Amino acid sequence: MLNGKNVLLCVTGSIAAYKSSFIIRLLIKSGADVKVIMTESAKDFITPLTLGTLSKNPVLTDFIKDQDKGVWNNHVELGIWADIILVAPATANTIAKMAKGEADSFLLATYLSARCPVFIAPAMDLDMYRHASTKENLKLLGARGNKVVKPNYGELASGIIGEGRLAEPREIMEFIENEMRAGKPLVGEKVLVTAGPTYESMDPVRFIGNRSTGKMGFAIAEVAYEMGAEVILVTGPTNEEIGDHVTKIEVETAEEMYQTCISIFPDMTAVIMAAAVADYRPTSVADQKLKKSEGPLSIELTRTEDILKFMGDNKGSQILIGFAMETENGLESAKNKLNKKNLDFIVYNSLTEPGAGFKHETNKITIIGKDNKLINFELKSKKEVAKDIINELVNYL
């Protein structure tokens, strides 16, 4: 959700300021561009050098950039630059000044210049957090559209046990992402996505597999999450990675993928079968490595379970989406698969198209609906292709 976003982290003078370093790491890992503003008192708890090194941008604390040359830090431009402002930790003092509209620091002046969502993560002692003035200030900021990350219960700097601990960095990240997903078209829906190849063992060393990297399936899972869905990703062996916001289940064989998917299937709103599942597996698997010998080697193969066919035969209200990768007679084969397996629509792509198929960062697809209506798309990045597929799912829903 934060990939490519400009995030302005505002750090105030709290003992919890050390946690801002962990917040920056998570933001950077999410793909955000991070800039940091610190109040003067925040420097007593963590250094600008630390936060500047982690964010890869100079830390700002004052309006004046170079006194001798008359150069200033433009708080207006910074407020416009930000897609998100996160005040963490936010002290009672800063919260009060934000509520009153004061602008006696670079941080506050930037806040007043912002045109983006603002998230406030309070951190203070129990009595300060419980005080009526703090409660009123937070309520007022919330009424103005700011989002408040509720602090945790636990041991505070004073030794008192109670509310006021800064929410953990991962909790803050989850709060921001959930707010960003609110109102998206797939909120409340559950989507199962499969990705990658399957490996069918011949012996303890060798297997039958295919060239799928899982890139397309992982991109679909990411976009489905961004559109609000709860996503389960069942993936064969792949080097692709995805964050904890998506539930990932790793399998190896077609049988493992079949058993996993059919157990999840009944609770799903939609299923997108992007995995390249083996159609055949060796009938028997040797206990020891097969030795090279003179002459040819024959291996008997047995059909694997057809996951899509099972789902098509047993679906209720679920939207079922399949993939067809072909090298010849592609459209006709895809249409046959659509009807035979009772799919709602199918995504067709051809290995003969430059830039499409396995290993590429791009793909070129045609979506075929039940009425055999074709929607052709240009060559795009797999992330953009995933958006086209998810948008079509939203249309069906």
Instruction: Identify whether the C-beta of residue 11 lies closer than 8 Å to the C-beta of residue 48.
Output: no
Rg, Å, the chain Cα set: 27
Please pick, among 57, 93, 210, 342, the residue that the annotation labels catalytic: 210
Instruction: Identify whether the C-beta of residue 200 lies closer than 8 Å to the C-beta of residue 280.
Output: yes
Among 223, 329, 211, CA closest to 270: 223
Verify whether residue 178 is a known catalytic residue: no
Instruction: Identify whether the C-beta of residue 20 lies closer than 8 Å to the C-beta of residue 10.
Output: no
- Residue in this structure with the two tokens 């698997």, named with its chain if needed: 285
Max Cα separation, the chain?
87
Instruction: Identify whether the C-beta of residue 228 lies closer than 8 Å to the C-beta of residue 185.
Output: yes
261-275 in b/e burial notation, b at 16+ Cβ within 10 A?
beebbeebbbbbbbb
Q: How far apart are CA 140 and CA 179, in angstroms?
A: 19
Tokens coding 84: 């998100």
Which residues, 6+ apart, have CB-to-CB distance to 143 below 8 Å? none
Q: How far apart are CA 134 and CA 99, in angstroms?
A: 10
Q: Which residues are annotated as catalytic?
A: 210
